[in-house]
Structure 1
Amino acid sequence: MAGQRTELTANNLTVAGYLSVPATGGPGVIVLQEWWGLVPHIEAVADRFAEAGYVAFAPDLYDGQATTSPDEAGKLMMALNIGETATKLRAVVHALLAHPATAGHPKVGVIGFCMGGQLALYAACENPEIGACVDFYGIHPNVKPNFANLSAPVLGLFAEKDAFVTPEAVAGLRSELDQHGKTYEFDTYPGTDHAFFNDTRPEVYHADAAYDAWDRVLRFFRANLS
């Protein structure tokens, strides 16, 4: 199942991105990019969600820019306006809830990878309409979720050998969620590196961990968005 580049509009704001819709409709899921931008890998993840019965939208947070250079990706990530991004994500939440294909589903899910993982946490704290949040090894130094406002359960999936999201960082996130009495489940995959889910990067992709993580994500969304 293949989606298409399109735009969603809500709250007097139009957000470009990639939309993939199953024939039978289903709950909405927001797919948030890594620091590379809205690249084919993220579009493929949206298509996988549609195949699983979810109306998936991946917003283009860099407004058309994307890169394969780590240096350029870092610059794009750090230049991201967090306030504007929060406004975009709120519009996407409302647009997905209003989409005919999500009729009957009062909550949406959010999932993000790397930079997108941290933004998924942030979005879930800002939007009570988000009913489930998945964080794949999320990191962004300028994104500070207000966990006091979090109402969605969180699934956190991390890599043992992650030099960006270290075991100490995961422990810190766990501590913050515990302090606020939030519902979460974390798993760290042994022998894996940051971005182990990205099958377009053979130097870090870990097929077994990615397969298990995808199964965990689908079970998590089924339990919380159905």
Structure 2
Amino acid sequence: MCRILFFLSFVFFSSVLFSQEKSCCQTNVSFAGLSEDKAFRDAHQLPKDFVLQNAKGKMIKFKTEDGKEANAYFIESPEASKKFILVFHEWWGLNDNIKGESDELQDKLGNVNILALDLYDGVVATKREDAAKLMQSNDKNRSMEIIKGAIKFAGKDAEIGTIGWCFGGGWSLQASILAGKQGKACVIYYGIIENTPETFKDLHAPVLGIFAEKDGWITPDVYKNLEKNLKAAGKKVIIRSFNADHAFANPSNTNFDEKATKEAKELTLRFFKENLMN
């Protein structure tokens, strides 16, 4: 009898510890891991055929320290400006939708240079399975070199903002960390990186995080943990969540929420104007 009670007690406490550990682990999410989740893949609708008309920018190449070249969609400021915004694509790659978002940013903000980076080195996906493979196989070291090259392209006196969606949201945050004191504003749309307070020791830019309360992956627990760690590191952070689903700001997604997207864009523009453009 005593052995049975001991065994049942062991099972009970083990299950409690496991559930606590699982809950803790869920506050850190890896996009490479999410690419293996069929539900996550299926949540991303195939992008609509969209061809950018009257593009404001052009594709350029710049050198990276690993001896290669990187691609970017570059919109030069109408007037000479040291203000730059680095734009980071979703898991699809640098497609016309992201170029269109870049055009809109430049149109609304005025004298700022926009550099939409290609972290897939010229590859763009149109199928979920291909996008998942690209995101999973993304070489973090190569992406870091591309970002460093972009910061060097902007120049040592540049003031840098960053923005990205989903996969690109995490890279927006990483880029602002890499930008150090040059970083002035970081915007994340339902993106994340694995983080602790120590992660943000080199971050100087304030952060605006835009999230979806119905998101089954970047859940409220995940982005609240991000907020907690940013504040613990002494960083400025604004978190705004919407009653919407993952990828709600992508017009090619069935989860597209026009009202939430409009409000999120207004927040984004105000944030950039207050922290980068002033």
Same fold by TM (over 0.5)? Answer: yes
Quote the RMSD (CA, aligned, Å): 2.1
**Structure 1 runs not aligned, ≥5 long:** 99-104
Q: Distance in 1 between matches of 2:198 and 2:130?
A: 25
Correspondence for 1:114: 166
Which protein is richer in helix relative to its size?
A: 2
For the 8 Å contact 1:28–1:56, the answer to whether it is kept is yes
The equivalent position to 1:130 in structure 2, one of 183, 205, 215, is 183
Q: Distance in 2 between matches of 1:39 and 1:5?
A: 12
Per the TM alignment, residue 96 of structure 1 is displaced from its structure 2 partner at its CA by 2.0
SS for the counterpart of 2:155 is helix
Per the TM alignment, residue 97 of structure 1 is displaced from its structure 2 partner at its CA by 3.2
Q: Distance in 1 between matches of 2:124 and 2:88?
A: 14
1:77-111 Cα offsets, whole Å, 9 max, x none, are 1111111211110110121237xxxxxx7311000
Correspondence for 1:101: none
Q: TM-score, normalised by structure 2?
A: 0.72
SS for the counterpart of 2:270 is helix
Which protein is richer in strand relative to its size?
A: 1
Instruction: Please tell me the residue identity of whatever aligns with 1:57.
Output: L
1:149-201 Cα offsets, whole Å, 9 max, x none, are 211100000011111211111111112112211100010011x1111111122
1:31-89 Cα offsets, whole Å, 9 max, x none, are 00101111111000111122121211111110111112222211111111111211110
The equivalent position to 1:147 in structure 2, one of 196, 200, 207, is 200
Question: Larger radius of gyration, structure 1 or 2?
Answer: 2
Q: Distance in 1 between matches of 2:129 and 2:213?
A: 24
**Structure 2 runs not aligned, ≥5 long:** 1-54
Are 2:244 and 1:204 equivalent residues in the alignment? no
Instruction: Please tell me the residue identity of whatever aligns with 2:272.
Output: F
SS for the counterpart of 1:173 is helix
Per the TM alignment, residue 24 of structure 1 is displaced from its structure 2 partner at its CA by 2.6
Instruction: Please tell me the residue identity of whatever aligns with 1:204.
Output: N
Q: Distance in 2 between matches of 1:21 and 1:174?
A: 33
For the 8 Å contact 1:122–1:146, the answer to whether it is kept is no
Correspondence for 2:71: 16
Correspondence for 1:3: 57
Are 2:242 and 1:189 equivalent residues in the alignment? yes
Correspondence for 1:180: 233
What number of residue pairs does the alignment pair up? 217
Q: TM-score, normalised by structure 1?
A: 0.88
For the 8 Å contact 2:64–2:146, the answer to whether it is kept is no
Instruction: Please tell me the residue identity of whatever aligns with 1:198.
Output: N
Q: Distance in 1 between matches of 2:162 and 2:220?
A: 23
* Counterparts in 2 of 1:25 and 1:145: CA distance versus 1, 3 Å: farther
The equivalent position to 2:211 in structure 1, one of 148, 153, 158, is 158
Q: Distance in 2 between matches of 1:14 and 1:145?
A: 31
For the 8 Å contact 2:87–2:116, the answer to whether it is kept is yes
